[in-house]
Amino acid sequence: MGLMSRSAAGIYAARLQRGMATRWREWGELAIQGLLLFAAMVSVFTTLGIVAVLVIEAVPFFQQVSLIEFLTDPQWTPLFAQKHFGILPLVAGTFLTSAVALALAMPVGLLSAIYLSEYAPARVRAILKPALEVLAGIPTVVYGYFALLFVTPLLKRVIPDLETFNALSAGLTMGIMIIPLISSLSEDALYAVPGSLREAAYALGATRLEVALRVVIPAALSGIVASFILAASRAIGETMIVAIAAGQRPILTLDPRRAIETMTAYIVQVSLGDTPHGTLEFRTIFAVGLVLFLLTLVFNLIALRIIERYREVYR
Amino acid sequence: MEEIVLETQNLTVYYNGRPAIEGISLRIPRRRITAIIGPSGCGKSTLLRCFNRMNDLIPSARVTGRVLFEGVDLYGPDVDVVEVRRRIGMVFQKPNPFPKSIYENVAFGPRIQGIRDRRRLDEIVERCLRAAALWDEVKDKLHQNALTLSGGQQQRLCIARALATEPEVLLMDEPASALDPIATMKIEDLMRELAREYTIVIVTHNMQQAARVSDYTAFMLAGEDRVGRLIEFGPTQQIFTRPRDRRTEDYITGRFG
Ligand SMILES: Nc1ncnc2c1ncn2[C@@H]1O[C@H](COP(=O)(O)OP(=O)(O)O)[C@@H](O)[C@H]1O
Ligand SMILES: [Mg+2]
């Protein structure tokens, strides 16, 4: 009896000891964990690296050009003999194209989101939603030529004094590109509004339009605003379309008919040009890049904050 | 003899072509509480949603037969659904206040009817919150978000919101099933109070609740074919003490369901 139980205990103890197979499994799990961590860290370190390069290269620039001049001088002419380093014209250019883009994309994107979420039959929605998202997959260079070769000539018929390169055409095309971003994110926010709220409104005698305008949109508002802000950040950072269709003339204007230059287009111009590396002229792109980075970062952070708050609404 | 407000005649509802309830003929008396009881899935909600045409919102649902409201067929050709829903209010199983202020929840119905005058809205909000026995608890925080209220308070707010369109009938689909016993008791007291002015139809699978609050009881049951039918209708006391149908007796004595 005593012998029996001791050997039985031995067997159980042996089971508790880790065998070779278990050890291998543990190693395997550790390795996979490490791999996943590494993958996650790649993007973090890349981002940090980019910020570091921007800052390191921008520091010598700001040793030669004062921050005051950079932020207040109304001229941007680093590539000319008479050099001015005021970023305002580039900021105005970016603002102008983005404003045109958002003025188109926000209403159209939101309206299509409302249609998809509140009006479209399930079958139409199943076709239209992915179709809209395909728009987002078109390479931006295609949009750029679309703007220059199709939208601009079309607009010229209506607006005769439109310049060949102009903020309007680039902005509108960029707006078309951004519509799916807004409609898709806004639609997610509208669709997430519980059906019980719609039922409550219908039961009070609301029409479909009243349900959409007075219940669903207010309930999804933060998600919608977040989609607008992400779209703004996308517009500010968009490069190809404005580089191709908006021009390379950094003038301080808010007239969308004129050729302008955005921050992104300027960076392309210098990067692809023959400006020697290491010179002050070349370093301008890091200063501009830093401004661009900070702007989009701020917009994305705001959007994140809003989305977070919106997640809490129905808990 | 009771005055009849709502009446169904040979009402059948199909989902995707399959009947969920069939051949329901039922008469709802004015200013009384009528309970619809029966096991889960027998079609109580489906029946209730015919009274304010909420089934219209389900694309796969089809309704045949007649639903008369004060003699008018609600499914007739010239009927305005918006007006139907205004005059026949509904309270749902789970409290579903809008994520707006308490005030705006109650003012929602009047506002979509075009009432803008602030004093009139104030008056309606106060009257309905009082009628729903919620005024004293919320009068100092009318502009606070309704989602900060407790579940029972939210449900009474939903009742106040329904009252604000000045309905004649209140439909309630298991209005207390998501609430604790004390909140449930408050809702039941409130229903008795409201029945002086309103006709109430309440769906419940809680038999004690039906016995406690209702004047009339309709017992529904789905047979082997999973199609819900009306088994028995009568004064609550009779249904619970002298049911005529064997199945009713089995159900109320807890032998199935
Ligand atoms: N929207 C719907 N689509 C299809 N079938 C439904 C739908 N709603 C309810 N049903 C079916 O109809 C029957 C009755 O449901 P319901 O009226 O909700 O019963 P109860 O309220 O008594 O629990 C059930 O078999 C249910 O599955
Ligand atoms: Mg039900």
CA distance linking residue A145 with residue A142, whole number of Å? 5
Q: Is residue B126 included in any domain, yes or no?
A: no
What integer pLDDT is reported at residue B171 of this predicted model? 98
Total-model pTM: 0.84
Domain A71-311 sits in CATH at 1.10.3720.10
Query: Does A252 contact B at CB distance below 8 Å?
Result: no
Q: Is residue B125 included in any domain, yes or no?
A: no
Task: Determine the 3-state secondary structure of B204 from DSSP.
Answer: coil
Mean pLDDT of chain B: 95
Q: How far is the CA of A102 from the centre of ligand 1 (A)?
A: 45
Substitution candidate for ligand 1 out of B11, B46, B47, B174 with most atoms within 8 A of CB: B46
Amino acid at site B151: G
Q: Is residue B134 included in any domain, yes or no?
A: no
What integer pLDDT is reported at residue A1 of this predicted model? 42
Residue B10: left (phi > 0), alpha (psi -120 to 50), or beta?
A: left
What integer pLDDT is reported at residue A315 of this predicted model? 42
CATH of the domain at B174: 3.40.50.300
Each residue's pLDDT expressed in tens, for chain A with a length of 315 residues: 444 455 555 556 556 677 788 888 889 899 999 999 999 999 899 989 999 999 999 999 999 999 999 999 999 999 888 999 999 999 999 999 999 999 999 999 999 999 999 999 989 999 998 888 888 889 999 999 999 999 999 999 999 999 999 999 999 999 999 999 999 999 999 999 999 999 999 999 999 999 999 999 999 998 999 999 999 999 999 999 999 999 999 999 999 999 999 999 999 999 998 889 889 999 999 999 999 999 999 988 988 888 777 665 554
What integer pLDDT is reported at residue A3 of this predicted model? 47
Query: Does A111 contact B at CB distance below 8 Å?
Result: no
Which range of residues forms the domain containing residue B50? 4-96+168-252
Domain-wise residue ranges, chain A: 2-64, 71-311
A217 contacts in chain B (CB < 8 Å): none
Is residue B204's pLDDT more than 50?
Answer: yes
Q: Is residue B219 included in any domain, yes or no?
A: yes
What integer pLDDT is reported at residue A10 of this predicted model? 57
Query: Does A137 contact B at CB distance below 8 Å?
Result: no
**Least Cα separation, residue A224 to chain B (angstroms):** 16
User: Among all residues of chain A, which has the CA nearest to that of B167?
Assistant: A204
Q: How many domains does chain B have?
A: 1
Is residue B177's pLDDT more than 70?
Answer: yes
- Optimal mutation site among B45, B85, B106, B163, interface A, most CBs of chain A within 10 A: B85
What integer pLDDT is reported at residue B31 of this predicted model? 97
Q: Sorting pLDDT into bands at 50, 70 and 90, what band is B151?
A: very high
